[in-house]
Amino acid sequence: MRATRTSLAAGLAALTLLAVSACGGDDGGEAGGGGGGGSAEVEVFTWWAEGSEKEGLDALVEVFDTQNADFEFVNGAVAGGAGSDAKNVLASRLQTNDPPATFQAHAGAELTDYIEAGQIEGLSTMFEEKGWNELFPEGLLERLQQDGEIYSVPSNIHRANVVWANSSVLQEAGLDPKATYASLDEWIAALEKVEAAGKIPLSIATDWTQVHLLETVLLADLGAEAYNGLWDGTTDWAGAEVTAALEDYATLLEMTNTDRQSLDWQDATQLVIDGEAAFNVMGDWAEAAFATAGKTFDTDYVAFPVPGTDGVFDFLADSFTMPVGSPNPEGTEAWLDTVASAEGQEAFNKAKGSIPANIEADTAEFGPYQQTAIESWTNDEIVSSLAHGAAASVSWLTDVTAAVAKFGSNNDVAELQESLVAAAETHAAS
Ligand code: GAL
């Protein structure tokens, strides 16, 4: 083992020398250099490829351009909500030593995957030198590290357990748009009214959005403590509480649009925006979609915590990495500087629907929905999202997603539960 490490280190040193001499021959004076012969390009890999997500990215890029005249942003985005396609593309690029200058990764368990695979650099020194340890909340910093080393720079905080609803559709179904529902049962009764009125009660899209719905149902029925226990082994996936939650999930899924497999989250949220569906459960990137469509919060649409999860903030954070072998480390650092900056976080999060991770960012101009998220983030209990990398590793999430996808075609609660039990046995930290 030691011999392998030593020869690996020697190999890396040789590679570094090669890279340095390659750059040395280039007198273009560009920062960063890299294999591209002095390129100042900074390829940023995300899945914010279109619509309101791209608008969020564009807002961040605008700040980057202002702060960094010497570097050129290159958009490496791969479409597909929640990174459903991007993560596969990224995995093969990392395997073939073709990393972008930086890539999007979720704080929490997902980050651990890249750390353990040796694919991202530790950033603790950078955090210390730049004073970033004081910029981000302690709990968030903890989720960005392993063995005391920090590995990425958070760009935002998103809330996953949110219901979005079209006020007119609710009124047409005889429901009060300002109503909130204390439990999933109460909410299901409201969904039935929408069904009777001939509209889609609950819009949903492809597999990952179903996992997203499932996680919020588990949170609603189990409560925060037992939900947390699903990830640390203290809650039994085979238990009756989980069975009851899966039955609620089955009931909800029956009340969704039948074309769900051909849609992504933007399409499902759009069904609510357009008044074809009453409700959608989605993270608060949906806020950006309503805003982009010119809709007014609390008038055209309402948003509230998934019934049964009031007082809990189901959390995720996007963050940016320094890949091992970045083609342009100085360019990566410049991007990370912008991501961390109050200015970058204000512009990005205002457009993205999320809230800043940087505690010095000014949120006075943020919209009314985002003010509710700030309030909840500050006061509520925080739990980790499954569908967005905070709670479980990529491989665990992949197995859950396969089980959920299968359930979508066979509606077999017992089989779903068995598969979830098996996934936990395979992947849960011992
Ligand atoms: C999440 C990501 C969000 C948003 C969403 C939908 O995983 O953290 O920023 O992009 O996917 O694509």
Give me the percent of the chain exceeding a pLDDT of 70: 90
pLDDT at 39: 64
Break the chain into its structural domains and give their ranges: 8-158+316-376, 159-314+390-427
Mean pLDDT of 341-348: 98
Give the distance (Å) from ligand 1 centre to CA of residue 363: 21
Give the distance (Å) from ligand 1 centre to CA of residue 46: 9
Residue of minimum CA distance from atom 5 in ligand 1: 82
Mean pLDDT of 304-328: 98
**Matching fold, domains 8-158+316-376 and 159-314+390-427:** yes
Residue of minimum CA distance from atom 2 in ligand 1: 82
Residue 390 pLDDT more than 50? Answer: yes
Residue of minimum CA distance from atom 9 in ligand 1: 318
More confident residue, 5 or 137: 137
Q: What is the pTM of this model?
A: 0.91
Give me the percent of the chain exceeding a pLDDT of 90: 90
- Pairing mode, strands 200-203 and 162-166: unpaired
pLDDT at 429: 63
Mean pLDDT of 309-318: 98
Q: Which of 388, 397, 401 to mutate to test the pocket of ligand 1 (most atoms within 8 A of CB)?
A: 388
Burial 11-28 (b: 16+ CB within 10 A, else e): eeeeeeeebeeebeeeee
Mean pLDDT of 383-391: 98
Find the range with the poorest average confidence among 103-117, 299-313, 416-430.
416-430
Give the distance (Å) from ligand 1 centre to CA of residue 105: 10
Residue 400 pLDDT more than 60? Answer: yes
Instruction: Starting at the earlier edge strand, list the strands of the sheet with 162-166.
Output: 200-203, 277-281, 162-166, 301-305
Architecture of domain 8-158+316-376: 3-Layer(aba) Sandwich (3.40)
Q: How far apart are CA 306 and CA 281, in angstroms?
A: 7
pLDDT tier, 430 (very low <50, low <70, confident <90, very high otherwise): very low
The whole-chain average pLDDT of the chain stands at 92
The angle subtended at Cα 170 by Cα 169 and Cα 176, nearest 5°, is: 150
Q: Which of 60, 281, 318, 345 to mutate to test the pocket of ligand 1 (most atoms within 8 A of CB)?
A: 318
Q: Burial, 62: exposed, middle or buried (Cβ in 10 Å; 0-12, 13-18, 19+)?
A: middle
pLDDT in tens, 224-263: 999 999 999 999 999 999 999 999 999 999 999 999 999 9
Q: Which of 45, 207, 285, 384 to mutate to test the pocket of ligand 1 (most atoms within 8 A of CB)?
A: 285
pLDDT tier, 19 (very low <50, low <70, confident <90, very high otherwise): very low
Residue from 274, 276, 279, 305 nearest 290 by CA: 274
Residue 24 pLDDT more than 70? Answer: no
Q: Is the dihedral of CA 340, 72, 74, 96 positive or negative?
A: negative
Residue 26 pLDDT more than 70? Answer: no
Mean pLDDT of 358-387: 98
Quickly list DSSP for 268-322.
HHHHHHTTSEEEEE--TTHHHHHHHTT--BTTTEEEEEPTT-TTEEEEE-EEE--
**Atom number, ligand 1, closest to the C-alpha of residue 53:** 10
Report the pocket of ligand 1 as residue ranges, CB < 6 Å: 47-48, 53, 81-83, 106, 158, 265, 283, 285, 316, 318, 388
Give the distance (Å) from ligand 1 centre to CA of residue 285: 7
More confident residue, 38 or 174: 174
Residue of minimum CA distance from atom 11 in ligand 1: 82
Residue 35 pLDDT more than 90? Answer: no
159-314+390-427: CATH superfamily = Periplasmic binding protein-like II (3.40.190.10)
Mean pLDDT of 73-78: 98
pLDDT in tens, 149-207: 999 999 999 999 999 999 999 999 999 999 999 999 999 999 999 999 999 999 999 99
Residue of minimum CA distance from atom 12 in ligand 1: 81
Residue 9 pLDDT more than 80? Answer: no
